[in-house]
Every structure is written in C-alpha cells, then in structure tokens.
Amino acid sequence: ETGVTQSPTHLIKTRGQQVTLRCSSQSGHNTVSWYQQALGQGPQFIFQYYREEENGRGNFPPRFSGLQFPNYSSELNVNALELDDSALYLCASSLSGASGPGGDEQFFGPGTRLTVL
C-alpha cells in the first residue's frame, strides 16, 4: 500500500511568483486536505477536497486554490507569493464514507518546504 506522497520536497520562489504543489493520496482514499505549517507552529487547515469538490476552507485568501483529480490526487496553487507564505505544506488523505468526511483518520505526507525570497 503506497502512502501519501508530495512533490517537490523543497522549493524556492520569489515574491509575486506562482507555485503549484502536488499530492498523491493513499491508495483507496477519496478525500484530500491541505495544511500550512509555519516554522515553530502547528499546521493550519487551508482547505479540503472531497469527490473533486472543495469541501471546507480555512482562513486563507483566494490566492490559495486547489484541485482534486478523478484519481483523487490533488494540487495546491498559490498565486502572488508573499514572504509569509514560506512554510511546510502538508497534504493529508482520508477515506470518507457515503455521508461525507467526519472524524476520518487523516494520513499525512512528508510535506513540501516552500521558501519565498
């Protein structure tokens, strides 16, 4: 069984640029959540995708957007990068039942370290 994978591992961008981070969910999982973990802090929820639709969003501006594909992999896109976007971006996948996500165990990938200069 393949776990959650993320690419790239590390990324350096400059202010104003755009970035795309990728996540492959664990086999059989249909829900993907993205989190931002700034240095010395706990992860913060960005948004979740369930059955290819955004299914909940945290307190992040619209320049943070995402996609989920039919194979349940996902992308996180960030436009107009700011210095404060420097963080570890974590992807988590889970298997949600017919009634939707709720308390399902989330399995985390190793993250993508984004540095904005």
Partner 1 sequence: AQSVTQPDIHITVSEGASLELRCNYSYGATPYLFWYVQSPGQGLQLLLKYFSGDTLVQGIKGFEAEFKRSQSSFNLRKPSVHWSDAAEYFCAVAPRGGYNKLIFGAGTRLAVHP
Residues near partner 1, by CB under 8 A: 4, 31, 33, 35, 40-45, 48, 50, 55-56, 58, 90, 92, 94, 96, 100-111
Minimum CB separation from partner 1 for residue 20, in Å?
Answer: 20
- Least Å from the CB of residue 76 to partner 1: 15
Looking at beta carbons only, is 81 or 90 nearer to partner 1?
90
**Least distance to partner 1 from the beta carbon of 108, Å?**
4
Of the pair 70, 103, the CB lying nearest partner 1 is at 103
What is the 3 state secondary structure string of 89-103? EEEEEECCECCECCC
Closest CA to 2 of 20, 26, 23, 24: 26
**Residue 107 structure tokens:** 């399995």
Q: Would you say 13 or 45 has its CB closer to partner 1?
A: 45
- State phi, psi for 107 to the nearest 5 degrees: -105, 125
Rounded to 5 degrees, what are φ and ψ at 14?
-110, 160
Q: C-beta of 115: minimal distance to partner 1 in Å?
A: 16
Cβ(28)–Cβ(95) below 8 Å:
yes
- Please identify, using beta-carbon distances, which residue of 81 and 112 lies nearer to partner 1: 112
What are 3's strand-pairing partners?
A: none
